[in-house]
Amino acid sequence: MTELVVATTNLGKLREIKELLKDSKIKITSLFDYPDAPRIEEDALTFAQNALKKAATIALYTGKLTLGEDSGLAVKALGNRPGIYSSRFSGINATDKENNAKLLRMLRGVPRSRRQARYICCAALVDSHRIVDVARGTCPGLITPRAKGRNGFGYDPLFLVPLYNKTFGELDPAIKAKISHRAKAFRKIRKVLEEYLDSLAQ
């Protein structure tokens, strides 16, 4: 069975990725299985570049097929910030609670009509020889004035999906797994992964 190393130590992301790739004919591991793997500084200028850097670094280290993912929140009223700095918006080792609090402070007084945002995800698939593919997914929404719900992670309790009038924090995870930025990117990656595995079997 082919091993796919997911280049992350984010438990929330890993859980979602495993769910999105369930039933694939692969063994999914992560950086928790490679504690001595090189630390990756996310210093690129785009989500795609960060995803590729993660995937390429770990693919070269392990010699295995590797998935790198980078995602974040872009808020229109803030000039698309926090963007690639989403996980460290309020500091290097910031918690989700701290990041959410900073976002709400910066949007204080901003009306609902100007609180548009979108989640962005880029996923890169790399083996030890080449870049297999890079996929992108987005999900539009609004930032609520206060946190709602306990599901998900990151900015999910603040990210309202107008179609359901609920935040990702309130939505059933099964619904999020169909409409989220990560779901959209991983539907594309899953198809590429299946084609890649088929090519190995030939």
Distance CA 157, CA 137 (A): 20
Kindly state the DSSP code that residue 9 receives in the 8-state scheme.
-
Residues 40/52, Cβ–Cβ less than 8 Å: no
How many Cα atoms are found within 13 Å in the side-chain-facing hemisphere of 198? 6
Distance CA 199, CA 202 (A): 5
| Catalytic sites, residue numbers | 70
Q: Is the peptide bond before 82 cis (omega within 30 degrees of 0)?
A: yes
Residue with tokens 């998900």: 152
Residue with tokens 């979108």: 118
* Coil vs helix vs strand at 173: helix
To 5 degrees, how large is the angle CA 162–CA 112–CA 87? Answer: 75
Exposure string over 125-143, b if 16+ CB within 10 A, otherwise e = bbbeeeebbbbbbebebbb
